[in-house]
Structure 1
C-alpha cells in the first residue's frame, strides 16, 4: 500500500492486478487483440519495456504530454499505460484526421512527441511535419513546442521490446490531485475543429468505478469493443471499467458490421459495446448463426435510437441493454439499465431516490425561442433567472449539471488551452445569484416515470412554419419505415422563406454500395419514395414532414458512428452543391402534395426568383 500512497494514477490499478497474490488474476487475459491473448502479468512486463523505450529514446518523463495517433490495437494500451507509469499524459488523436484538423489537434495538445500508427503515417506529410517541427502559439498565448513524429513501425516496436523493463519511482506518479489532467480526449468535431477536453484523474476513477459496479462487471467477464479507443466511450466507459474490475478487454481494430457479432461469438465476449448507429448497421446485415450463438449477456453504449432498440435486442437475443448519456468533458452522466420494453429507448432512468438526488445535481431549462438557433436558455425579463422545468413533466429543455461556483474545475476541467470554449460551457446566475451550471448543449425530457428521453442537439432543432422541429424525433419516425436503413434530418435555408425547411438524407435498404435503386427513375426508388411520403405524413405533424429528401448511398459519420450534419446543412438543397459523381451521386426530391418529386436546377431557380413558395 505504501507504493500506492498517491494512488490516483490508474497505472497503480493495473499494477495491482498484474502483481496480485492471486495467480488466477495475474494469469487472466487482460487484452485480446488479433487472436493474441496477453495476461495481466505478461502485459506488465511489456508496458515497462515501452516505458523504458519512451524514457531512453525520447526523454519522456513526469508531466510530459505525448500525442497518440493510433488505431485500435494492444499497442495503444501498452503505450497508454507506459506513459502513465512515467507520470506522463497521453493525448488521444482521432486517426481519421488529416490536413488542417490533424495539425490543429496535435498542436493544441502542446505535446512534444506524437506516436503514429503506420497505417495513418501518410497523413503526416512533409509539409505537416515541417510545420510541427516549428514552435507555435496557442489561442491562449501559450507556447506550442516543436513536435517530433515517431511512426511505430514493426522495427521500432522490436527495438522498444528489447529494452529492459523500467518501473519509474513512485514519486514520478505522486502528488496528483483529483481535478488534475490524466489525459486529453478530443470532441468529435461534428460542429467544427476538435477541442481537447481535459479528462481528470477523478473522472477516470469515478466513471470506471461506477460503470464496473452498475453493469455490474465480474472478474470473468470479457468485454468486446470495436469503438475507437481515442474516444471516451471505448477508453473510459469500456476499457478503464474492465481494468478496474480486473477482467478482459477484447479489442477489434475497427468496427465492421459484417464481422462484429462473429468476433463476439468466437472470442466468448460476455459484453459488447456500441456507439451511435452501430446497432442499426448490425441489423442491416444478413442473418447468421452467430446472431444467437454467443455468450453476450449485455450490450452497453450510447446513441442507440428507439426505433432500433427492440429490433436489435430481439434479433440478437441480448438479455439487457445499458444506454448511457454524457459528454467526455461533462461532470455527470445518465444511465438506463434496460431489460424490458418499459425503459427501451430511454437514455437514463431514475427511481424515486435517484430522481431526488438528480434533482439537486441536474436540471432542465427552457430555451429562448427568439435566440439564434434557439441555443440560449430563456430568462425571466424581471429576475434575469432561468425557469426550471419541473422533473417528470415531460417538457423538453436543455439539460444542465450543477457545478461548484467557487471551484468550477472541481467537476469540469474544460478544454485544454482554450479558456473561451471552456467559459461557453458554463452558465452562471441560472436559478440564483452566483450559481453555476454546465451546459450539455442537448435537449432532453424527463417523464413521470423517471425516464430520460433524448430530444435533440441544440443547433440541430430548427423552426419551420413558426414551429420547433426536432431532427432526432423526425429521424426516429422515418427510421420505422421498413424501407429506410438510416435517416439523417437537418434544417436548410431556402431563399425567400423564414426559418429552415426540413431535409432528410436517407439511405434506403438495398442502395448502399452502388445499388441500382439509387438511380433516378428506378421503379424501386419510386416506390420507396412513395412509401416514405405516406409514412411521414401519417406519423408526423405537417410542419415536421421533411420538405426535401436527399437520397444517398452512404451516410457521413464520425469515427464513433455518429451522424454528421454540418456538411449536409451547408450544401442545403442547391443542386449545384449536392454531389453528383458521374451522374450517380445523391438525388434531391421535394414534397409536392403527398409525393416526393425530383428536385433539380429548374425547381431551385424558381424558388430563388420567388415564383414558387414552399
Structure 2
C-alpha cells in the first residue's frame, strides 16, 4: 500500500508532522547552525570585496560613515571611566589625534607608531587617528619591561613610541637610554618616547580636526598590514604578527552577524586592547555594527560583573581563565532587599575564547546568562571555529558544525597525527605525507593556505621570515599542498563538536603514554576544593619522559585573600584530591607532583603560563619558597622535601 502524499493528509496533521520532521533533521544535522555560519561568512566576504574595490578598506571610513549618518552620529560609541563619546565625537577626536601625529610628531603615511597603553578611550582615539593619516599602529603589551619591552619596540621598527603615564615605571633611565641610542633600530636611529601626560592631551584637544585627503589612505589591498599585534611570548620573546585589513573586516563582520550585534548592544570588555580579542573582536565589531563599546581599564574579578551591570552591558567578553576568576568572587546580594545581584543584568551573551568545560555551565547557571559564544582562533591564524551554545550539547566545545560545515571544513582544514618527540606532524616513511587522525582522536589542527602564494591568507610575522616559515607545513595530504600550523591539538567528534585537547609542546610523555595537560587540568579543576590547576610535564633525573606536575590554587587560598606562603591544604583535601584524580584518570596521567601556590602565573590576557613552572620543575631549590610541593605516594599526596629530591637525583627512587 503506497504511503499517502502530504497533500492527502489533513493540514492539522501534515503541518505538525512536517515541522517535527524538519526539527529532527535540523537537530540531527545542525542545518540552521551551519547555514548561519555560512551566511555570515558570505556576507563578510561580499562586504570586504566591495570595500577593497572601492578603496575603502581602512577602518577610518567605517567610523566616518557612522559619524556622518544622521541615524547613528549621536549614538553612544565609546564608554570609558564614566564618560561617553558618540560616533561623531569619536570621529572628531580621531581627526585631532591624526593632526597631532602628523603636524607635531611628523608621522607620515605608512609609518609605524608603537603604542604602549593601558585600556582607555585614548587608546581607541590614537589608533583611529593613525589610520586617518594612513599610518600603522603597533600594540605593545603594557605589562612588559626590560628585554621583552626592548625587543617588542625594536621589532616594530617604529621611530615613535607613545606611552601611558601609568606604565612610566617600566621605563627607568637605562631603558630610555637604550631607546635613545642611534644604533637602536638596527642603525636607523633612536626611538622617540613620548609619555601621554595631561599637557599632551591638552595639546591634542587644541588641534584642528582636519581630515586628510583619501589618497593618504588609498591603494590598500586586503592583504596589506593594518596593524601589528604581538604574540603573548609565553614560549619566548613576543613576535609582531601582521594583522591585515582583510582580517579586520572578516573577524568583525563575521562576529557581528553571527551574534546579531546591533545598535542596541553594549559590549563590555576589560580584556587588554593590545590584543586581537578585545580590539578586533570587540572594538572593530562595535564599529562595524553601530554598537556601544564599554571599556574597562583593567580586569578585576571582584568588580567585573558590577561594572557590566552598571553599564547595562548586553555582551561581556572573556579570555582564558577570566570566568573562573569571576566565579571565585562571593555571590553579590543586595543587603536591603536580599536580591541576587549576580542575576540582575541585561547580559544575553558571554563571548570569548578559552573557557574551560568545568566552568562553562557553572558560570551560566550562577549568572543566568543564556548563551556562550566561544571561538577558537589566533592573531596570526588563517581561520577559526565557532560555537554558539545555549544548551548542554555543545557545552565546552571550541566550535561545532553539522553536515554542511563538515563538507566545508573537510576541505579547508586537517587534523593530523603528531610525532611528540619531534613536535612535528608525523609522516609516512614511504610516502612522506602526513596522516589524518580518526574522528574523535586528538591531532594538530592545520588550515589550508595557497602553496604558491601563502601571504594571500597568512601574512606571518613582521620582518621575520624564519618565524613565518615555521608556521607553514608543506606536502601534508598530497605533494605540493600547504597548511598553516596552529600548534594546537584538537578533537573533532562524530557529532561535529570541536574540543581543545592541548597546546603542542604542552603534551608530555610518561610511562610511554602521551598525556594532555588540558584534559588533566579539567579533571583537577572539577574537584570541589580546587580553584585553578595548571598542568605541565617536568624532567626528572634518571627517568625517561616527563612526570606530571600540577600547580594548584585551592579555594581556601582565594577565600583567605592572603599573599606570602601558600596555605597548607588539609590531609582530607589532599586525600580527596588524590582519590578524585585516580578515579577519573589512568594512573600514568595522574599528576605525580603538586605545586600548591598562592596565585597562578598568567599572561595579561588571563591565559596560563607554563614555561617558568616547567623550567623550575620540582627542584626545591628552584621552586618559590612561598609554594608547597607534594608527591603522590600510593593513593595520596604527601610533602615532597629536599631529602626526597636528593633521593630522586641520586637514582634511589624509581617512579
What TM-score comes out, normalization by structure 2 length? 0.89
Match for 1:589 among 601, 618, 630? 630
Aligned counterpart, 1:412: 458
Structure 1 residues 520 and 603, CA gap change in structure 2 (3 angstroms): farther
Match for 2:136 among 89, 92, 97? 89
Matches of 1:521 and 1:30, distance apart in 2: 46
> Any idea what SS the aligned residue of 1:287 has?
coil
> Any idea what SS the aligned residue of 2:557 has?
coil
Aligned counterpart, 1:291: 342
Matches of 1:503 and 1:16, distance apart in 2: 54
- What are the equivalent positions in structure 2 for 1:596-611 lying under 5 Å apart? 596-611=637-652
Aligned counterpart, 2:87: 40
Aligned counterpart, 2:472: 426
Q: Does 1:313 align with 2:364?
A: yes
Q: How far did residue 442 of structure 1 move?
A: 0.2
Q: How far did residue 145 of structure 1 move?
A: 4.1
Q: RMSD across aligned C-alpha pairs, in angstroms?
A: 1.7
- What are the equivalent positions in structure 2 for 1:449-468 lying under 5 Å apart? 449-468=495-514
Aligned counterpart, 1:125: 172
Aligned counterpart, 1:251: 295
Structure 1 residues 366 and 135, CA gap change in structure 2 (3 angstroms): farther
Match for 1:379 among 427, 431, 444? 427
Match for 1:69 among 108, 116, 121? 116
8 Å CA contact retained: 1:218, 1:245: yes
Gaps of 5+ in 2: 1-49, 333-339
Q: How far did residue 143 of structure 1 move?
A: 5.6
Aligned counterpart, 2:406: 355
Aligned counterpart, 2:490: 444
Matches of 2:223 and 2:445, distance apart in 1: 23
> Any idea what SS the aligned residue of 2:104 has?
helix
Matches of 1:90 and 1:548, distance apart in 2: 44
Q: How far did residue 5 of structure 1 move?
A: 3.3
Match for 1:5 among 54, 64, 73? 54
* Structure 1 residues 142-172: Cα deviation after superposition (integer angstroms, max 9, x where no partner): 7654210010011110111011112111000
> Any idea what SS the aligned residue of 1:199 has?
strand
Structure 1 residues 527 and 419, CA gap change in structure 2 (3 angstroms): same
Greater Cα radius of gyration, structure 1 or 2: 2
Q: How far did residue 534 of structure 1 move?
A: 1.0
Matches of 1:564 and 1:144, distance apart in 2: 35
Structure 1 residues 86 and 546, CA gap change in structure 2 (3 angstroms): same
8 Å CA contact retained: 2:487, 2:504: yes
Q: How far did residue 525 of structure 1 move?
A: 2.8
Matches of 1:520 and 1:19, distance apart in 2: 57
* Structure 1 residues 530-554: Cα deviation after superposition (integer angstroms, max 9, x where no partner): 1111110111010000000000010
Matches of 1:477 and 1:208, distance apart in 2: 34
- What are the equivalent positions in structure 2 for 1:180-195 lying under 5 Å apart? 180-195=224-239
Matches of 2:520 and 2:198, distance apart in 1: 48
Q: Does 1:343 align with 2:394?
A: yes
8 Å CA contact retained: 1:518, 1:525: no
Q: How far did residue 478 of structure 1 move?
A: 0.3
Q: How far did residue 50 of structure 1 move?
A: 1.1
Structure 1 residues 3 and 554, CA gap change in structure 2 (3 angstroms): closer
Structure 1 residues 203 and 515, CA gap change in structure 2 (3 angstroms): closer
> Any idea what SS the aligned residue of 1:90 has?
strand
8 Å CA contact retained: 1:488, 1:563: yes
Matches of 1:397 and 1:597, distance apart in 2: 35
Match for 2:609 among 564, 575, 578? 564
Matches of 2:300 and 2:561, distance apart in 1: 20
Q: How far did residue 354 of structure 1 move?
A: 1.4
Q: Does 1:210 align with 2:250?
A: no
What TM-score comes out, normalization by structure 1 length? 0.95
Match for 1:153 among 197, 200, 210? 197
Match for 1:219 among 253, 263, 282? 263
